[in-house]
Structure 1
Amino acid sequence: MDVRTEPIVGRGDIVLLGDSLTEGGAWQELLPGLPVRNLGVGGDTAAGVRRRLRPVAEGRPAQVFLLIGTNDVALGRDLDAIAADTAAILAELRRATPRTRLHLQSVPPRTAPYTARIRDLNARYQRAAAEHGAQYLDLWPALADAEGRLRAEFTADGLHLLPAGYRAWTGELRPRLAAAGAG
């Protein structure tokens, strides 16, 4: 018996790829009418995303929005290693799907102990995005408070987002989607 399943990702899709921050978004509600695929996995790391890239690349989506790294930082991974894994994700996607619009999103703010490392990692991400033909999307202006922490009204635990935080994030995504004719 030939059993066919719908591919996870298809041409024209908008893929949100990352960890629990991505996974927790009600993206179909936040971006109604758009072919959004939520490929967030709680607890994932940059190395984990690399291991699950194949269906994304094979699907040839219109856009990929990558947000990864907060778990890597919390695990104490070397920032160069995190940035190298993330750059490898971009390189593989660029090679496999040259027409896909790639967006590397900054790691959002967390609690104070993580601020300096995340800012340093985000500077590396900016360079990686430029090197691999991706657009860098800085989420800090929309999500950070004056001290560089995740704004209190956007979180209950200093990491995961409440609906207001997802609405702020979506506000940052919309101009990228509109520029690509998707929203």
Structure 2
Amino acid sequence: MSKFLYKLIGVMNVAMLCSFYAKGQNLIDSSYLTNQYSLRLDYFRKMPDRKNEIVFLGNSLTEGGKWQEMIKNKNVVNRGISGDVTYGIIARLDEVVSSKPAKIFLLCGINDMKRGISNEVILGNFSQIIQMIRAASPKTQLYIQSLLPVNEKMLPVAYAEINNSKINDLNRNLEALCKEKDAAYVNLHPVLADENGSLRKELCIDGLHLRQATYILWTDYLNKNGFLK
């Protein structure tokens, strides 16, 4: 399937999802075409594909990781875009799968939640993402990472829609979806959460975004559990 056709299918899927969910009382803010999104995607598309890529795909939590420095001797690429939502992931999957990557580590959904998008809708988009990756690159190993916990006491007002109760509910359903779709689910909470299930304050900047050193813990966790072999 050509890149153009795959991109067109992705955009059509986004449009259909938006149309379907907009039939209710509340419209969904599914916009993703920010300046940051456009600039990053333009850069991604101009980069050459490499063999056996390990792709880290997601939003600012992924973009902030220096994955290439922490994971040695592998073709690691960072496909994080700050502010991205599941709709934006769907729309740019053609670029992600064009290299037929060896592995994809996906983390997204928190910005959807920030906008008030329901867990049901987010989960439906995850299902669509899994299906699209499987169709385009069936040999790629897909790892769906849990949404990270937050530290609610530290969160700015702009993140009022986000809380650990919603995150835990989505993660439970996401894990069940992974079992249904035979995709690997990676629970990151054991390495980042405190005894109350909140993001450890010493690991973050604002209750959500991570300090650079925290990515070392994240990468070590993936290594110790054999996900990066």
Deviation at 1:6?
4.3
Secondary structure of the residue aligned to 2:79 is: strand
Corresponding residue of 1:78: 118
* Unmatched 5+ stretches in structure 2: 1-45, 153-161
| 1:106-133 alpha-carbon deviations (Å, 9 max, x no partner) | 0000123610000001011112212222
In 2: Cα distance, 1:58 partner to 1:132 partner: 22
Corresponding residue of 2:166: 117
Secondary structure of the residue aligned to 2:228 is: helix
Q: Does 1:63 align with 2:103?
A: yes
Secondary structure of the residue aligned to 2:131 is: helix
Is contact 1:155-1:161 (8 Å) kept? yes
* Unmatched 5+ stretches in structure 1: 179-183
| 1:132-167 alpha-carbon deviations (Å, 9 max, x no partner) | 221000000011111221111111111111123111
Q: Does 1:177 align with 2:228?
A: yes
Q: Does 1:133 align with 2:182?
A: yes
Superposed counterparts of 1:30-41, under 5 Å: 30-41=70-81
Secondary structure of the residue aligned to 1:177 is: coil
Corresponding residue of 1:13: 53
User: Number of matched residues?
Assistant: 173
Secondary structure of the residue aligned to 2:227 is: helix
Is contact 1:106-1:136 (8 Å) kept? yes
| Higher Rg of the two aligned structures | 2
What is the identity, as a one-letter code, of the residue corresponding to 2:58?
A: G
State the identity as a percent. Answer: 40
Deviation at 1:23?
0.1
Superposed counterparts of 1:22-61, under 5 Å: 22-61=62-101
Corresponding residue of 2:130: 90
* TM-score, with length taken from structure 1: 0.90
Secondary structure of the residue aligned to 2:73 is: coil
Question: Which deviates the most, 49-58 or 16-25?
Answer: 49-58
In 2: Cα distance, 1:6 partner to 1:39 partner: 11
Deviation at 1:72?
1.2
Question: Which deviates the most, 36-45 or 152-161?
Answer: 152-161
In 2: Cα distance, 1:10 partner to 1:134 partner: 23
| 1:17-52 alpha-carbon deviations (Å, 9 max, x no partner) | 000000000111111221101000000011111111
Is contact 2:123-2:170 (8 Å) kept? yes
| 1:84-126 alpha-carbon deviations (Å, 9 max, x no partner) | 1011111110111111000000000012361000000101111
In 1: Cα distance, 2:129 partner to 2:101 partner: 15
Superposed counterparts of 1:144-155, under 5 Å: 144-155=193-204
Question: Which deviates the most, 126-135 or 29-38?
Answer: 126-135
In 2: Cα distance, 1:28 partner to 1:22 partner: 12
Secondary structure of the residue aligned to 1:176 is: coil
